[in-house]
Amino acid sequence: MALIADYGLDSPPRRLLLVALSLKDRANQKKMDILHVHKVVRYYEYLRAGPPEVDFSNYDMGGVSYEIHENTQTLEEYGLIEKQGKYYVLTDKGERASKEVRNAFTNEDLQRFAFSKYQLNDLSTDEVMYFMYMMVPETQQSSTHFASLEKKKEALIRSLYEKGRINSVTASKWLGISEKEFSSWVSK
Amino acid sequence: MKYIFDTSAVIYLFEKCRLIEELLTFSKRNSLCIPQRVEEEFLFGNVKQSDKVNLKKIFKVTHVTLDSGLLPYFGYDDSDGAIWVISQGLRNSGSWCVIDEIFGRDLCKFLRSVLRLKLRFTGTIGVLKRMKTSGALSQEKLKVVKDTIKQSSFYFDRNLLNELEQLLDKGGK
């Protein structure tokens, strides 16, 4: 537990950051760019459906957190994470720290966190942004990006469906058509 | 063997490909089940009375208790037949979930490989393969099935269509 005490890792944004970076995505990759860090943590909060552990703002990109942003810099300064190109990864010390902080999560919460990264980390910027805007509609409020993505919604929904990130129930709802109409539309 | 079917598999095999006799033969040696939700989905709209009768002859409609742990993965919406199929599959680890939609299949992969849950899944192609192996489906009929699926306006993942092509090339083995 030494690392938790030394680096204040009982703070929710730090715990969430370390665990997000410790999980593997579909391609067995752990690395994440900053946008995907924000979105994976936000989607995990949605899946958990409990009281929010970190504050998220719905301005600008929607569903991004100043706390996450600030603590990313702090963990980098502490040598727990490092930047490789545009991606963040855990250092060896960060890996050890992530194992310690995982104990603060229930098994169920870790499963949901793993699912969040599994579903989102390999999506393009537009796909991950649109997925989150639609999955958590409150993030559309005050966003400066939603309107432009909405113009491409048919292509984005098709892509998310074909990549298995949404089912036909969700896709047809987002398109505002019946499931039967959706099935016919997507087969074209 | 016990199979729990999602709606799309029932639509392909039963409604689009009309494998009524073949499914009846296959059901004599295998237990073919559909959750109530899948039955409701299938019967929604105009379904002929004779199809309703045959559906009951082939598939056992099962009352499934929803695994609430799956709800977050489905966006807290229980209207997708796959959530009921997977709920039943998790309770009966010896049975096969028959799911075609990529989302449902990927979720099964996640539950199995990442969460290490005991869950078996296949799709329409997997069932066709087993029907062919068991002698319930002829090579000629399999070709008709492939053409029907290809011409159908119903979405079918390209990878699964390729699997069907390969199955035909190998003579269904």
Q: Name which of B73, B80, B102 is nearest A169 (Cβ-Cβ).
A: B80
Domain count, chain A: 1
Which chain A residues contact residue B104 at CB under 8 A? 167
Which chain B residues contact residue A116 at CB under 8 A? none
Mutate to test the interface with B, among A169, A174, A179, A182 (most CBs of B within 10 A): A169
Q: Name which of A135, A167, A180 is nearest B101 (Cβ-Cβ).
A: A167
Q: What is the dihedral of CA B151, B154, B159, B165, to 10 degrees?
A: -30
Which chain B residues contact residue A180 at CB under 8 A? 45
Q: Name which of A108, A163, A169 is nearest B77 (Cβ-Cβ).
A: A169
> Does A48 lie at the interface with B, CB-CB under 8 angstroms?
yes
Mean pLDDT on A15-28: 96
pLDDT tens, per residue, chain B with 173 residues: 999 999 989 988 988 889 999 999 999 999 999 999 999 988 887 788 888 999 999 999 999 999 999 999 999 999 999 999 999 999 998 999 999 999 999 999 999 988 888 999 999 989 999 999 999 999 899 888 888 887 776 666 777 778 778 877 776 55
pLDDT above 90 coverage of chain A, percent = 76
Question: Minimal CA–CA distance to B67: which of B45, B83, B51?
Answer: B83
Q: What is the pLDDT of residue A142?
A: 77
Question: Minimal CA–CA distance to B38: which of B69, B73, B62, B18?
Answer: B62
Q: What is the pTM for the complete model shown?
A: 0.90
Compare all CA atoms of chain B with the CA of A48 and give the residue at the minimum distance: B72
- Give the domain range for residue A58: 2-121
Q: To the nearest whole angstrom, how far is the Cα of B90 from the nearest Cα of chain A?
A: 16
Alpha helices for chain A (secondary structure H): 2-7, 12-22, 34-48, 66-77, 92-102, 107-120, 125-135, 146-150, 153-162, 168-175, 179-186
Is residue A2 packed enough to be buried (19+ CB in 10 Å), middle (13-18) or exposed (0-12)? exposed
Which chain A residues contact residue B156 at CB under 8 A? 187
Which chain B residues contact residue A177 at CB under 8 A? none
> Does B112 lie at the interface with A, CB-CB under 8 angstroms?
no
Domain boundaries, chain B: 2-169
Q: What is the pLDDT of residue A1?
A: 63
Q: Name which of A47, A165, A169 is nearest B72 (Cβ-Cβ).
A: A47
Residue A48 lies in a domain: yes
| Contact between A186 and B155 using a beta-carbon 8 Å cutoff | yes
Domain B2-169: CATH architecture, name and number where available: 3-Layer(aba) Sandwich (3.40)
Q: What is the pLDDT of residue B46?
A: 79
Which chain B residues contact residue A169 at CB under 8 A? 74, 77, 79-80
Mutate to test the interface with A, among B155, B159, B160 (most CBs of A within 10 A): B155
The DSSP annotation for B11-78 comes to IIIIIIS--HHHHHHHHHHSEEEEEHHHHHHHHSS---HHHHHHHHHH-EEE-----GGGGGGGTT--
Whether the pLDDT of residue A114 is over 90: the answer is: yes
Number of residue pairs across A and B with CB atoms under 8 Å?
61
> Does A112 lie at the interface with B, CB-CB under 8 angstroms?
yes
| Contact between A187 and B153 using a beta-carbon 8 Å cutoff | yes
d(CA B133, CA B151): 25
> Does B81 lie at the interface with A, CB-CB under 8 angstroms?
no
**pLDDT digit string, tens, across residues A155-167:** 999 999 999 999 9
Count of residues for chain A?
188
| Contact between A167 and B79 using a beta-carbon 8 Å cutoff | no
Q: Looking at residue A78, which CATH number applies to its domain? A: 1.10.10
Quickly state the pLDDT bin for A99 (edges 50, 70, 90): very high
